[in-house]
Structure 1
Amino acid sequence: MEAVADNLFPILRETSLFSAWPEDLLHALLLQSKKVTLDSGEILFVEKAAASAFYLVLSGRIHLIAAASTGQEKIVEIIEQHDLFAEAVAFLGGRYPVTAAADGSTSVLEIPLALFLEILEQKPLLMRQMLARLSMRLHFLVKELRHLSVESAEQRLVSYLLELCPQANGSAVIEFPTKKSAVAARLGLTPETLSRVLARMRKAGVIEMQGRTIHVPDLQALERWVAGH
């Protein structure tokens, strides 16, 4: 267990949640954590289940899925490598608000909630830092909800592509982090609508696409194009 903690310590320390944690407390938490490996499509936890842990993606991706009143499911977030998720359950009555499923072969670090909460209760400063992070996360999700409710399909897709883009000007090569159907669900679109928007963008010459790879010859031209939609 000590070797595992040593290997994962730098990864966990890079997250905003744990960046200020003292080394001894972080090692203590890691020693009680464990690695979980999932096959593609395997469920890690289900919505409304009692929570005993939160997670860090070590490899692969996790889809967070919410059930609508109509019975349909929607991917609300795609969790990438070295991202934390489900940490908010510590402040939500101990139940998961979404379902988590693996997108491809995935491994995660399972961090025990009981020990995490015990440490926070003993360290008020860490608790305040945690609440600040959750507040920023809430603002982000409210912004995302606003975008989904008022933006056109073209605006949603271009905004998403720009989020993935490493720079603001010139040309760029962007890689979809997951399959197109998952991206479509993340943006609140059907796969057919996403395909039509991509086709219109290719026809307009603002993108070139091969598989999941998108080449944008001119980022500012892409922004001008979407301004017309």
Structure 2
Amino acid sequence: MTKDIERISGVLRFARYFRTWPQEDILELASLCEWVRFEADTMMIRADEPAEALYLIVNGHVELSYKDGEGKNGVIDLLGDGQLVGECALAPDGHYAVSLKTLEATTAIRIDGLLFSKFLSAHFDRALTMMSVMTERLCQMLRQTEELKCRSAAQRLGIYLLADAVPIDDVHETPLTIEKSALARKLGMTSETFSRALKKLSELGVTQHSNGRIIRISDAEMLADWCGLSDSERKEGQENAFQAVI
């Protein structure tokens, strides 16, 4: 058990939710957690079920979804390493508002909701930190909703590719770590629309390599201009600056 706590605390202290916490608080939180692993296409959380735990994604990708009034599924977001989900578990007698399904084999840290809530009640500064990070995440989701309305499919895809682009020689390359169909749902489009968007970007020097797993951008600045990104969005200096607007 001691080894598990040390291993979990080692992961928690690098997560953005907890990176400013003192070590003794991280160790205490780790004692409320356990390692869990889910196979691909597994429901981790179901909407309307009692919210009993939060999950910190350690390795893998998950899909956050909902059902509308007609029973149709809609994708809210795709989440990966370092993301926290299931915050409803912090509310007394809370129920999950959305569903969560793995897109691939996924490892996570399960945090007991009731025990974590009691922990935060006894550690006011830690509670404020959690509120700040969760508010930031909500603002990002609101910006994403705005972008879905204001930018074309090709522009949204271009911004996503710029977010993870790595400079290599005279170009930028972006690895696609999730299936294109899942990425299409994240960006609010069908697979057919995704293909058309990628074809449109090819006119701007965006090409596919390694069977479509690597996307190469010949001129990142030109693509950023075409996608309508402002100078402040490009140069604000934060991690994943482009990602903040999708």
Q: Taking structure 1 as the reference length, what is the TM-score of the superposition? A: 0.90
Residue 138 of structure 1 deviates from its aligned partner by 1.5
**Does the 8 Å contact 1:68/1:74 carry over to 2?**
yes
Residue 156 of structure 1 deviates from its aligned partner by 1.2
Residue 65 of structure 1 deviates from its aligned partner by 1.3
Alignment correspondent of 2:198: 198
Alignment correspondent of 2:217: 216
Distance (whole Å) between structure 2 residues aligned to residue 179 and residue 121 of structure 1:
40
Query: Per-residue displacement from partner, 1:88-108 (whole Å, max 9, x unpaired)?
Result: 542486222211111111111
Q: Which runs of 5+ in 2 are unaligned?
A: 229-246
Residue correspondence of structure 1 range 174-189 to structure 2 within 5 A: 174-189=174-189
Distance (whole Å) between structure 1 residues aligned to residue 224 and residue 24 of structure 2:
48
Distance (whole Å) between structure 2 residues aligned to residue 190 and residue 128 of structure 1:
39
**Does the 8 Å contact 2:51/2:88 carry over to 1?**
no
Distance (whole Å) between structure 1 residues aligned to residue 123 and residue 180 of structure 2:
43
Distance (whole Å) between structure 2 residues aligned to residue 198 and residue 92 of structure 1:
45
Query: Per-residue displacement from partner, 1:152-188 (whole Å, max 9, x unpaired)?
Result: 1111111211222246xx6211012310111110011
* Distance change >3 Å, CA 117–CA 65, structure 1 → 2: same
Identity of aligned residues (%): 25
Distance (whole Å) between structure 2 residues aligned to residue 226 and residue 114 of structure 1:
44
How many residue pairs are counted as aligned between the two chains? 225
Q: Which moved more, 1:77-86 or 1:133-142?
A: 77-86
SS in 2 for 1:104: coil
* Distance change >3 Å, CA 40–CA 208, structure 1 → 2: same
1:16 and 2:16 correspond: yes
Distance (whole Å) between structure 2 residues aligned to residue 181 and residue 157 of structure 1:
13
Alignment correspondent of 2:240: none
Distance (whole Å) between structure 2 residues aligned to residue 59 and residue 135 of structure 1:
24
SS in 2 for 1:107: strand
Q: Taking structure 2 as the reference length, what is the TM-score of the superposition? A: 0.84
* Distance change >3 Å, CA 24–CA 151, structure 1 → 2: same
Distance (whole Å) between structure 2 residues aligned to residue 32 and residue 134 of structure 1:
20
Distance (whole Å) between structure 2 residues aligned to residue 59 and residue 200 of structure 1:
32
* Distance change >3 Å, CA 149–CA 68, structure 1 → 2: farther
**Does the 8 Å contact 1:15/1:84 carry over to 2?**
no
What is the identity, as a one-letter code, of the residue corresponding to 1:218?
D
Residue correspondence of structure 1 range 45-64 to structure 2 within 5 A: 45-64=45-64
Alignment correspondent of 2:31: 31
Query: Considering only aligned residues, what root-mean-square deviation do their CA atoms show, in Å?
Result: 2.1
Query: Per-residue displacement from partner, 1:56-111 (whole Å, max 9, x unpaired)?
Result: 11222111112233322222222212322223542486222211111111111111
Residue correspondence of structure 1 range 130-169 to structure 2 within 5 A: 130-166=130-166
Alignment correspondent of 1:106: 106
